[in-house]
Chain A
Amino acid sequence: MALTGIEIFKLLPKTNCKDCGEPTCLAFAMKLAAGKASLSACPHVSEESKAKLMEASAPPIIPVTIGVGDRVLKVGGETVMFRHEKRFENPPGLAILISDGMDDAEIDARLKRFNELQYERIGLLLRPDLVAVKAGGDAARFKAVVAKVKEKSGGGIILMSENADIMAAGLSVCADRKPLLYAATEANLDKMAALAKDNSCPLAVKADNVEKLAELTTRLTGAGIKELIIDSGSRALRRAFQDQIIIRSAALAKKFRPLGFPTIVFPAEMTDNPMKEAVIAAMFVAKYGSIIVLSDFQGESLFPLLVERLNVYTDPQRPLATKEGIYEIGKPNENSPVLITSNFSLTYFIVSGEVETSKIPSYLLVKDTEGLSVMTAWAAGKFVADAIAPFVKKCGIADMVKHHKLVIPGYAAAESGGLEEELPGWEVQVGPREGSNIPAYLKSWKP
Chain B
Amino acid sequence: MAFEVPKTAYSGKIKEIKLGSGGKAVTVGGESSYPFYLFEGEMPHSPRIAMEVWDMPPQDWAPAALEPFQGVTDDPVAWAKKCIDDYGAEMICLQLISTDPNGLNRSADEATAVVKKVADAIDVPLIVWGTANHDKDTEVLRQVAEVCQGKNLIIGPVEEGDHKKIGAAAIGYHHTVISSTPIDINLAKQLNILLGNLGVSDDLIIVDPTVSCIGYGIEYCYSVMERMRMAGLTQQDEKLQFPLICNVSKEVWKTKEVHIPTAEDPKLGDAKKRGILLEAMSTMVLLLAGGDVMVMRHPEAIKLVREMITELTAAN
**Which residues of A come within 8 Å of B, CB atoms?**
82-84, 116-119, 121, 210-211, 214-215, 218, 236-239, 241-242, 245-246, 249-250, 253-254, 256, 258, 275-276, 278-280, 282-283, 286-287, 298-305, 307-308, 311-312, 314, 316, 346, 349-350, 352-353, 356-357, 437, 440
Contact = CB atoms under 8 A, between A and B. Distances in A.
Interface string B282-310: 00110010000000000010001101100
Nearest to B311: A237
A300 B267 contact: no
A261 to B, nearest CB: 14
Contact of A357 (B60, B230, B312, B313): B60
Given A116-B267, A246-B39, A301-B273, A258 B255 contact: no
22 contacts: A82-B223, A116-B267, A118-B267, A211-B1, A236-B314, A237-B314, A238-B36, A238-B314, A238-B316, A250-B6, A258-B1, A258-B3, A282-B284, A282-B285, A299-B268, A300-B268, A303-B268, A303-B274, A308-B214, A311-B222, A316-B219, A353-B216
Interface of B: 1, 3-6, 8, 36-39, 60, 102-103, 214-220, 222-223, 226-227, 230, 254-257, 266-271, 273-274, 276-278, 280-281, 284-285, 288, 300, 304-305, 307-308, 311-314, 316
Given A211-B3, A276-B308, A353-B254, 12 more contacts: A118-B267, A236-B314, A237-B314, A242-B38, A254-B4, A279-B280, A279-B305, A286-B222, A304-B278, A311-B219, A312-B285, A316-B219
A279 B307 CA distance: 10
Q: Which of B220, B270, B276, B311 has the most CB of A within 10 A?
A: B311
A275 B276 contact: yes
B276 A298 contact: no
B307 A276 contact: yes
B278 A346 contact: no
Nearest to A83: B223
A78 to B, nearest CB: 15
Contacts of B274: 299-300, 303-304
Nearest to A211: B3
Given A236-B311, A283-B308, A300-B269, A350 B216 contact: yes
Contact of A299 (B3, B8, B269): B269
Contacts, number: 162
User: In terms of DSSP, what is the predominant structure of the interface of chain A?
Assistant: helix
A283 B267 contact: no
A440 B97 CA distance: 14
Contact of A239 (B257, B271, B288, B316): B316
Nearest to B3: A211
Contact of A237 (B1, B227, B276, B308): B308
Contacts of B217: 311, 346, 349
Q: Which of B1, B60, B270, B304 has the most CB of A within 10 A?
A: B1
B179 to A, nearest CB: 20
Contacts of B230: 82
Contacts of A211: 1, 3
A119 B265 CA distance: 11
A84 B223 CA distance: 6
Nearest to A249: B6
Contacts of B271: 300
A116 B223 CA distance: 33
A356 B260 CA distance: 11
A90 B273 CA distance: 28
Contacts of B37: 242, 245
Given A286-B222, A301-B277, A238 B300 contact: no
A440 B217 CA distance: 24
A276 B1 contact: no
Q: Which of B227, B281, B300, B305 has the most CB of A within 10 A?
A: B281
Given A214-B1, A356-B256, A241 B281 contact: no
A301 B29 CA distance: 31
A275 B288 contact: no
A276 B214 contact: no
B1 A349 contact: no
B214 A307 contact: yes
B1 A304 contact: no
